[in-house]
Amino acid sequence: SAVISQKPSRDICQRGTSLTIQCQVDSQVTMMFWYRQQPGQSLTLIATANQGSEATYESGFVIDKFPISRPNLTFSTLTVSNMSPEDSSIYLCSVDGGGRARDTQYFGPGTRLTVL
């Protein structure tokens, strides 16, 4: 399986500011995904990021709030813009397994965000 790293691992931010989260994979992958895990809840998909095209956002998530970049096949960023305390969550990137495991997903360690 791919090795996925995220930066930062955690951050505490002030209301109204923005934070960019980086996701790095050790191999080229077709699809990268960004999920949110709110306290005590399960994972919810924010958007799918494919290289060379605009990210596809799920219902309830918009590009102005969560802009995503996918400059190449091993890297993506998610920005949480104009943050409020309701954005306090764990943000996780995942990648498809590729090849015969393309219908699976592997997750990074997550970025724990607290907004004051």
Partner 1 sequence: QKEVEQDPGPLSVPEGAIVSLNCTYSNSAFQYFMWYRQYSRKGPELLMYTYSSGNKEDGRFTAQVDKSSKYISLFIRDSQPSDSATYLCASLYQGGKLIFGQGTELSVKP
Binding span for partner 1 by CB under 8 A among 13-21, 60-68, 81-89, 99-107: 99-107
Q: Which residues, listed in sequence order, are joined to residue 10 by a DSSP beta bridge?
A: 112
Report the half-sphere exposure of 39 (CA within 13 A, side-chain side). 7
Q: Is 45 in the site for partner 1 (CB under 8 A)?
A: yes
Q: How far is the CB of 76 from partner 1 (least distance, A)?
A: 14
**Per-residue x/- track, 54-83, partner 1 (CB under 8 A):** --x-x-------------------------
Q: Are 24 and 9 in contact (CB under 8 A)?
A: no
Q: Could you give the 3-state DSSP secondary structure of residue 24?
A: strand
Q: Minimum distance between the CB of residue 49 and partner 1, rounded to whole angstroms?
A: 11
C-alpha to C-alpha distance for 69 and 116, rounded to whole angstroms: 26
Is 16 among the residues that bind partner 1 (CB under 8 A)?
Answer: no
Query: If we measure between CA atoms, which residue out of 98, 108, 114 comes closest to residue 34?
Result: 108
Q: Indicate whether 104 belongs to the interface with partner 1 (CB under 8 A).
A: yes
Query: Is beta strand 111-115 parallel, antiparallel or unpaired with respect to 10-13?
Result: parallel
Chain residues that interact with partner 1, rule: CB under 8 A: 1, 4, 31, 33, 35, 41-45, 48, 56, 58, 92, 94, 96, 101, 103-110, 112
